[in-house]
Amino acid sequence: MERNIKVYEALKWASSFLTENGRDANAGELLLGHFLDMDRTRLLSNLRMALPPDAGVKFRQAVEAHAKGVPVQHITGYEYFYGRKFLVNRDVLIPRPETEELVQGAIGRIRRHFGETKGLTLADIGTGSGIIATTIKLELPKLFVYASDISEKALAVAEKNAEALHADIRFVHGDLLQPFMGSKKLDIVLSNPPYIPETDRSSLSVVVRDHDPETALFGGEDGLAFYRRLVETLPYVLNKRALVGFEIGSGQGERVSCLLRDTFPESVVEVVRDLNGHERMVFCEKN
């Protein structure tokens, strides 16, 4: 990239280069905004500004790295979720917009199903970067919130995020619901477990397959292994009146809802589609 290049010229180059390499052309805006410490509005109002040489070098390196498959979030070190900034790295799944819909759906159902939230206990299973637990705690501060993960490295990231955002959460290390067996009963269980079938591995984008942790992606041959294990142990940890919410993969709604109905025949089970029309959440209201 030449010296004395303007912001708009840098963005034009990045857009063309990324498109040629099969990446999102708009990633250039995110990366340049990061290196200039500008949000998108400010960046676009300074298109004719000369790009500082050091920022230009970092920007070019970042664009080239993303073209090779490195996620933007691993370059910047963060992603926004529910309007808040969360640290991310290779130890955790990069937050997806669809998970915001799980959180939003859970908040509405918690209020409707329980009314008063004081005294209720929620557990986010497989918390990763802690986006679900932290967001729920900040939106419904009267809840007592646990966050668990089998990965100690993921828990370290989640704890940093909760601390930075001043969310009071109890973190526990363990496999799925195992840490809660025989202890205090839970009123709400939320989880975004690994749900990609092994058979889909080869079709995944290199950005996902080679950079998100494998343990956060794949859910066995059919993608349902973790739902089976979760539902099998739910009866041992849930209170009589409870709410369960899972994020799911497209096309998994009927099978996951059947697991819940078979385990809790008197419950109300609902499959919810995301904004793109894909099956994305299953909620179970247990009375």
Angstrom CA distances, 165 to 117, 122, 129, 183, stand at: 21, 18, 13, 28
Given a contact cutoff of 8 angstroms between Cβ atoms, the answer to whether 122 and 95 are in contact is no
Q: Quick one: fold of 91-286?
A: Rossmann fold (3.40.50)
- Is the CA virtual torsion 210, 213, 215, 220 positive or negative? negative
Given a contact cutoff of 8 angstroms between Cβ atoms, the answer to whether 85 and 166 are in contact is no
Please report, in range form, the residues annotated as the binding site for substrate.
Answer: 192-195
- pLDDT confidence of residue 249: 87
> Residue 259 pLDDT more than 90?
yes
- pLDDT confidence of residue 234: 95
In sequence order, the β-bridge partners of residue 243 are 188, 285
Which among 183-197, 207-221, 253-267 has the top mean pLDDT?
A: 253-267
Please report, in range form, the residues annotated as the binding site for S-adenosyl-L-methionine.
Answer: 126-130, 149, 192
Please report, in range form, the residues annotated as the binding site.
Answer: 126-130, 149, 192-195
Measured distance CA(162)–CA(141) in Å, rounded: 13
| pLDDT (tens digit per residue) in 132-157 | 999 999 999 999 999 999 999 999 99
State percent of the chain over pLDDT 70: 89
Half-sphere exposure of 148 (CA within 13 A, CB side): 20
| pLDDT (tens digit per residue) in 207-239 | 555 556 555 555 556 778 889 999 999 999 999
Q: What integer is the mean pLDDT of 74-86?
A: 95
> Residue 38 pLDDT more than 70?
yes
Domain boundaries, the chain: 7-68, 91-286
